[in-house]
Amino acid sequence: MRAGKLAHVITVQGLTTTINDMGTPTQTWTLKATLRAEKVEQSTKEYIRGYGASDETVAVFRTRFLGDITTADRIRFADQSYGIKEIAPIGRRKGLELRCVAISGVE
C-alpha cells in the first residue's frame, strides 16, 4: 500500500453504552481510530425494495490494517457517516478495504 494514495482522513467510531445520572443506559459513538485512507469508489445506487425504490450512496475506502474494526462500527468522512457493510483484508495484515453505505440524517 503506497502512502501517497492515502490522501484522505477518516475516523472509525464505535458504539458504546454508558449509564447517565438517572441510571438509564445511553448509547453514544466514540472515537476508535483516526486513519489515513484512499477513497476508491463512491456511487449512488438505486435498489428496488419491498417498500419501493431507494437510493444508497456506496463508498469504498482502503486503509492500513487495524484489527479491531467491525461491521458494528461506522466511518466519518467529509461530514458524512457511513455504516460498514463489509471488511475485506488486503494481503496478510497489510491493509483493509472497507465497503460502506452512507447513513442519512446522522451527524
- For cell 458504546, the residue is 16
Residue numbers of the chain with a pLDDT score lower than 70: 1-3, 45-54, 106-107
Say yes or no: domain 3-103 is CATH 2.40.10.270.
yes
The pTM for the full model equals 0.81
Q: Using one digit for the tens of pLDDT, what is the confidence trace for 72-98?
A: 999 999 999 999 999 999 999 999 999
Helices and strands, number each (H, E), in the chain: 0, 6
Q: What are the extents of the domains in the chain?
A: 3-103
Q: Name the nearest CA neighbour of 64 among 35, 100, 88, 31.
A: 35
Hey, is 2 helix, strand or coil? coil
Say what the pLDDT of residue 57 is: 85
